[in-house]
């Protein structure tokens, strides 16, 4: 780490005072939201703000009865917070790297734990990974986002995008899988040979299989999810 005078350190690390885009990366791991209205973010992601901003926990029926029941089944992983007002809001999640997407009537599926924030103009729905139930604890859901607007996701370290081509199935570790194009519907397969080789149950014997045409975003890190009753 370099040596700085206090003035040099402040000049090097201070926030950008200019009002930029609605979503702006202050650093690779801090998202600035230039708020004039409202935004949805992951609960607990706020690290600082400037201006007149109020925060509300997502109410039980905020997004309808259907999503309420899905959230009850998936635990607390998709709990959201709504920020309302005018000012600069800073969001982060455990030092993970942030990527901003500008959806133009496109769809994106994101692992529920890796969704940081999105504009209210974005439509969203919780998708249960039913075939994963009983195979691994936690991480059993994803969020389908579509429409027009900004979406911010997080990854541990640099993400890698794998292209899915017709006739070429892409297999990924569920704990390293972050997001994928909304037209893809992953299947879950168990590698019995690998499980036998290990000699006991292992999460790595469970794989996500993507077929068709699209993309999958992975991270060089196997995230461990905690079940809601742990």
Most confident residue range from 18-32, 128-142, 157-171: 157-171
Q: Which has more pLDDT, 82 or 68?
A: 82
More confident residue, 126 or 165: 165
Compare 191 and 114 and report the one with higher pLDDT: 114
Evaluate whether residue 7 is within a structural domain: no
pLDDT at 77 over 70: no
| Predicted pLDDT of residue 54 | 96
Q: Does the residue 10 lie in any domain?
A: no
End-to-end, the C-alpha distance of the chain in Å comes to 38
Structure tokens given for 124: 């969203």
Distance, CA of 52 to CA of 94 (rounded, Å): 25
Does some domain include residue 6? Answer: no
Percent of the chain with pLDDT over 70: 75
Q: How far apart are alpha carbons 162 and 171 in whole angstroms? A: 10
Burial of 137-166, coded b for 16+ CB within 10 Å and e otherwise, reads bbbbbbbebbbebbbbbbbbeebeebebee
pLDDT of residue 9: 79
CA–CA dist 68, 139 (Å, integer): 18
Higher pLDDT, 206 or 229: 206
Return the structure tokens found at 32. Answer: 């600035």
Q: How far is CA 46 from CA 42, 90, 164, in A?
A: 8, 6, 35
Q: Is residue 102 part of a domain?
A: yes
**Gap between the Cα atoms of 155 and 166, Å rounded:** 27
Query: Which residue range forms the structural domain that includes residue 68?
Result: 16-218
What CATH number did the domain enclosing 40 receive? 3.60.160.10
pLDDT at residue 32 greater than cutoff 90: yes
Mean pLDDT of the chain: 82
Count Cβ neighbours within 10 Å for each residue of 113-128 and write b for 16 or more, e otherwise: bbbbbbbeebebebbe
Q: How far is CA 50 from each of CA 17, 47, 90, 95, rounded to the nearest angstrom?
A: 11, 11, 9, 21
Kindly state whether residue 146 falls inside one of the protein's structural domains: yes
pTM, whole model, 2 decimals?
A: 0.83
Domain-embedded: residue 54: yes
Tell me what pLDDT residue 63 has: 52
State pLDDT tens for residues 38-56: 999 999 999 999 999 999 9
Count the domains in the chain. 1
223, part of any domain: no
* Cα dihedral across residues 109, 101, 91, 173: positive or negative: positive
Higher per-residue confidence, 9 vs 60? 9
Q: Which residue has the higher pLDDT, 56 or 76?
A: 56
- The β-bridge partners of 223 are none
Q: Residues 193-212: pLDDT tens digits?
A: 655 555 444 455 788 999 99
Helix, strand, or coil here: 31? strand
Distance (Å, whole) CA 150 – CA 63 = 19
């Amino acid at each position: 780490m370099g040596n700085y005078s206090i003035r040099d350190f402040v000049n090097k690390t201070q926030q950008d005072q200019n009002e930029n885009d609605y979503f702006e990366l202050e650093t690779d791991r801090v998202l600035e939201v230039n708020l004039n209205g409202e935004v949805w973010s992951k609960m607990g992601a706020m690290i600082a703000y400037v201006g007149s901003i109020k925060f509300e926990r997502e109410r039980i029926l905020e997004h309808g009865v259907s999503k309420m029941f899905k959230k009850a089944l998936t635990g607390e992983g998709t709990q959201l917070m709504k920020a309302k007002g005018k000012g600069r809001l800073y969001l982060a999640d455990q030092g993970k790297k942030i990527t901003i997407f500008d959806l133009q009537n496109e769809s994106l599926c994101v692992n529920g734990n890796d969704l940081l924030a999105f504009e209210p103009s974005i439509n969203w729905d919780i998708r249960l990974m039913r075939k994963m139930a009983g195979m691994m604890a936690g991480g059993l859901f994803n969020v389908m986002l579509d429409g027009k607007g900004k979406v911010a996701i997080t990854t541990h370290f640099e993400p890698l995008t794998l292209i899915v081509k017709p006739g070429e199935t892409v297999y990924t570790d569920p704990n390293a899988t972050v997001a994928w194009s909304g037209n893809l519907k992953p299947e879950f397969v168990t590698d019995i040979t690998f499980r036998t080789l290990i000699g006991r149950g292992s999460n790595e014997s469970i794989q996500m299989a993507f077929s068709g045409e699209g993309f999958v975003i992975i991270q060089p890190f196997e995230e461990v999810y905690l079940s809601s009753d742990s």
